[in-house]
Amino acid sequence: MKSITRTTAALVLTLGLTFGAAQGASISGEVKKIDESAGKITLKHGPAKSLGMEEPMTMVYRVKDPAMLKQVKVGDKVTFEAEEATSGYTVTKMDKAK
């Protein structure tokens, strides 16, 4: 019985760490366009493995907090985190690259 409990606990821990790492992975990109009225930003970025994107691309994202759009301008280099939602991909966190 202890063996089953240990195996189950190890599996849960492994899945939790894998899921958590994928959700919090930062993506490097460049701001190409900002649409404050629609709450969207266009980002050119490298592979975003946390979102299942293996190739570099330019893509339009919704933003979770419209205030993020006021902190950047076209041409800024950024790092961001995003998640897939029913309405598309949403940027959940964004910082200017240093």
Boundaries of every domain in the chain: 26-96
Question: Taken in order 18, 24, 77, 92, is the CA torsion positive or negative?
Answer: positive
pLDDT reading at 79 higher than 90: yes
Confidence of residue 92 (pLDDT cuts 50, 70, 90): very high
8 A C-beta contact, residue 82 and residue 92: yes
Burial of 27 (0-12, 13-18, 19+ CB in 10 A): buried
Of the spans 12-16, 32-36, 86-90, which averages the highest pLDDT? 32-36
On the question of pLDDT at 76 being above 80, the answer is yes
CATH class, 26-96 region: mainly beta
The residue with greater pLDDT, 10 or 60, is 60
